[in-house]
């Protein structure tokens, strides 16, 4: 690569953000938090760029899988670090974060992608088999992890006992593992529309791809670290507004999901709705399919109680979201109504978090 290319903002912002975070300047005042916010935004935009470079090289659906897995791994690291530090006070953190991520992805990212694509192209077409494959896996894991704990009787409350937690974790890994095999080997054609990228001939060099992959990991890591560093500021802001503390989890989940959200929206604007679906639904599946087993292992090791079951209000909102997504993706084409309804669902979710 040329030196001039390395001076692009997508390389400069992550380096500045890493230096700023480890300088210890964060949390010293309003100005330091504003600088952190600017660097976080720049790192998010940089992550989107590097993810697209990697995706061009490896092709679909591998590019979207890489981004989804990177973000999920970092999300798990953030949740585990906060749970270990918080102890018993963080027993609902994993549930709330995963639920917020799923709701933001299914209603927010997917809704904006469908709406943006519908406004620009009226209708966009994708492989119905891909949507069905995603949703079968997502619905099964959602019920096992976030709904069923409310109805088991071995332990009172929305908990699993240790044996149940181990079983559900293994079930999540089995479903996600078989899904990846279907997506990448046996039925890869389900997740690719042959004419979706008719004019794309750019394939980056191996050197540029490796550099972009390294910077992608750096960008995602620093986004999570900056989000964690700003969490106390966000919490104070939420408390000053008089909003419930659960809103903090929604805001942090939104910041962590920004890179893949922007990448999915850009794909929809370019009439690549299949890539948008791969990003959104793949991230939702990875978020619950990998996060719950990882958190379960930590909770068993450190003997931390883990609340998984949602309350009745959240179960209703989750069921509504999944049902609308299933109907919206059942015909293999989208329009602005589907996107609008999903965004209304998102507004209802956020509103009921603020005004429960």
Pairwise CA distance, residues 87 & 81, whole Å: 10
Position 89 scores a pLDDT of 59
Q: How confident is the model at residue 87 (pLDDT cuts 50, 70, 90)?
A: low
Q: How confident is the model at residue 206 (pLDDT cuts 50, 70, 90)?
A: confident
Pairwise CA distance, residues 27 & 19, whole Å: 15
Element (H, E) at 124: strand 124-125
Residue 198 has pLDDT above 70, yes or no: no
Domain containing 56 equals 3-354
Position 86 scores a pLDDT of 62
pTM of the model as a whole: 0.83
Residue of 353, 73, 315, 4 lying closest to 217 (CA atoms): 73
Find the mean pLDDT for residues 184-206.
Answer: 71
Q: How confident is the model at residue 197 (pLDDT cuts 50, 70, 90)?
A: very low
Residue bearing the bigger pLDDT, 198 or 204: 204
- pLDDT tens for 107-163 read 999 999 999 999 999 999 998 999 999 999 999 999 999 999 999 998 888 999 999
- Distance (Å) of CA 31 to CA 126, 240, 251, 252: 45, 19, 20, 20
105 C-beta neighbours (distance < 10 Å), count: 28
Please give the backbone phi and psi of residue 348, each rounded to the nearest 5 degrees, phi first: -65, -40
- pLDDT tens for 30-62 read 888 889 889 988 888 888 788 878 877 877 678
CATH number of the domain at 79, please.
1.20.1420.30
- Distance (Å) of CA 315 to CA 5, 75, 168, 180: 48, 23, 19, 27
The least confident of 158-167, 186-195, 282-291, 332-341 is 186-195
Residue 265 has pLDDT above 90, yes or no: yes
Pairwise CA distance, residues 266 & 272, whole Å: 9
Domain count, the chain: 1
């Amino acid at each position: 690569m040329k030196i001039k290319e390395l001076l692009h903002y997508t390389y400069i912002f992550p380096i500045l953000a890493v230096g700023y975070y480890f300088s210890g300047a964060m949390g010293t005042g309003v100005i330091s938090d504003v600088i952190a916010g600017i660097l976080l935004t720049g790192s998010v935009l940089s992550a989107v760029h590097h993810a697209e470079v990697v995706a061009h090289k490896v092709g679909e659906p591998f590019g979207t899988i890489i981004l989804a897995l990177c973000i999920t791994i970092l999300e798990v690291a953030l949740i585990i670090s906060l749970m270990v530090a918080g102890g018993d006070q963080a027993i609902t953190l994993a549930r709330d974060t995963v639920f917020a991520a799923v709701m933001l992805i299914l209603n927010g990212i997917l809704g904006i992608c469908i709406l943006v694509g519908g406004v620009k192209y009226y209708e966009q077409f994708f492989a119905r088999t891909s949507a069905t494959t995603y949703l079968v896996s997502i619905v099964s894991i959602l019920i096992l992890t976030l709904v069923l704990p409310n109805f088991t009787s071995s332990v009172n409350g929305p908990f699993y006992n240790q044996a149940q937690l181990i079983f559900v974790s293994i079930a999540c890994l089995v479903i996600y593992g078989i899904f990846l095999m279907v997506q990448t080997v046996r039925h890869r054609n389900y997740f690719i529309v042959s004419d979706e990228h008719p004019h794309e001939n750019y394939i980056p060099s191996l050197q540029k791809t490796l550099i972009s992959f390294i910077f992608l990991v750096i960008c995602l890591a620093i986004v999570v670290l900056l989000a964690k560093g700003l969490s106390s500021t966000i919490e104070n802001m939420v408390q000053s507004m008089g909003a419930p503390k659960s809103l903090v989890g929604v805001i942090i989940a939104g910041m962590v999901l920004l890179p893949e959200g922007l990448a999915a929206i850009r794909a929809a604007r370019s009439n690549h709705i299949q890539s948008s679906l791969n990003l959104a639904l793949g991230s939702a599946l990875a978020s619950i399919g990998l996060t719950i087993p990882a958190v379960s292992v930590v909770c068993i090791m450190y003997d931390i109680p883990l609340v998984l079951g949602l309350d009745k209000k959240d179960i209703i909102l989750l069921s509504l979201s999944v049902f609308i997504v299933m109907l919206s993706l059942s015909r293999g084409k989208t329009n602005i109504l589907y996107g609008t309804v999903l965004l209304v669902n998102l507004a209802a979710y956020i509103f009921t978090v603020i005004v429960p």
